[in-house]
Homo-oligomer: A and B are copies of this chain.
Amino acid sequence: MSSTLTPLSEIADVLRSAQRIAIAAHVRPDGDALGSVMGLALSLRAMGKEVYALLEDGVPTNLAFLPEVATVLTPPYADFEIDVAVALDTATHERVGEHTKAALARAPFLIDIDHHPTNPGYGQMNHVDGTEPAVGQIVYNLLQAGGFPITDAVMQHLFTAISTDTGSFQYSSTNARTHQIAAEMLTAGLDTARLAQLLYQTHPARRLLLLRAMLNEMDIRAEGRIASWQFTRALMDEVQVQPGDTEGLIDTLRMIDTVVTAVIFEEMPDGKIRVSARSKDQRLDVSAVCGQFGGGGHRMASGARMKGPIQVAAETFLTALEHEVRRLA
């Protein structure tokens, strides 16, 4: 179809000439998904456009403090009509969710803006740039390219997108432009410290209970090089887990200096076991191990779904992983 790097000014032209626009992102939205959708939505609304922000799974509770998130729509969607649809931060069209995909299909024109390098470019217009640390950063550049309004509420969303997808400017995807944008937002008066406090320094007690359970139950093997944890439904029920509570737990396992790979096994409602694996060593490709169980992803961050029970899945996966770890040295 078209190039996967349509200039942002051309995308801005299409959005400028549209009046009714739907914007969506992936299921189980994170900060970059929600922040990009609402950052773009609020800017376009400030231009007087009719904008529908669609999230199949709604707003995660830990991001509910952000402005105007009450305007996010979830299925079943009403019968609104749209001229242009935008999918953000979504590697495959299906990942917006079934109802959302159907709603986006009401427009004759789909714009796909993403930073997942595997994104095939499923829109009529695509801007897929795997070097960008966050879609929020692309959206900020898009708003500047179009001369679109960048209000305080827009900045709150886009800063959230950028900050969360870079681990507060810590991941290797962070580039000079990322910091330039933060500098511009501070100069424009954005209270980034308040956002950081709400994003990183405020958690429900539930989250500390989960962290405590993980530290009490974690399994360390292969001379401290593998750290893992089995997150059971029993604990989920006990703690009354909410979406967002588990974010970053795996990073705590990764922090141990001897660890080269960390894995969390999570019991899903359907009995399947969701495996999340991280590598800290470029030589250890966790996507290859996940691939053995029908999963995949990136070299350093990957996932799979396995059959339960959780103890059996964990032993099977960890045995395969340990085999790879032992080949390192």
| Residue positions of A touching B, CB distance < 8 A | 167-180, 182-184, 186-187, 191-194, 196-197, 200-205, 207-208, 211-212, 215-216, 220, 224, 251-252, 254-258
Contacts and interface: CB of A to CB of B under 8 A. Distances in A.
Contacts of A197: 170
Contacts of A216: 212, 216
A169 B170 CA distance: 10
Nearest to A197: B170
B257 A205 contact: yes
Contact of A180 (B170, B183, B254): B183
Given A169-B168, A180-B179, A258 B205 contact: yes
Number of copies: 2
Interface of A is mostly: helix
B193 A170 contact: yes
Nearest to A172: B193
B252 A208 contact: yes
A199 to B, nearest CB: 9
21 contacts: A168-B169, A169-B182, A169-B192, A170-B196, A170-B201, A171-B193, A172-B193, A174-B186, A174-B192, A174-B193, A176-B184, A176-B186, A179-B186, A180-B180, A180-B183, A201-B254, A201-B255, A205-B257, A211-B211, A211-B215, A212-B212
Contacts of A167: 196
A193 to B, nearest CB: 4
Nearest to A253: B208
Contacts of A179: 179-180, 182-183, 186
A191 B171 CA distance: 10
Nearest to A196: B170
A193 B169 CA distance: 8
A59 to B, nearest CB: 17
A208 B215 CA distance: 7
Contacts of A212: 212, 215-216
A76 B23 CA distance: 66
* 4 interchain residue pairs of minimum CB distance: A172-B193, A170-B196, A212-B215, A179-B183
Which residue of A171, A183, A203, A211 has the most chain B CB atoms within 10 A of its CB atom?
Answer: A183
A254 B202 CA distance: 8
Given A169-B168, A182-B169, A205 B174 contact: no
Most chain B CB within 10 A, of A173, A182, A258, is at A182
Nearest to A205: B256
A175 B170 contact: no
A203 B280 CA distance: 13
A18 to B, nearest CB: 33
Contacts of A251: 201
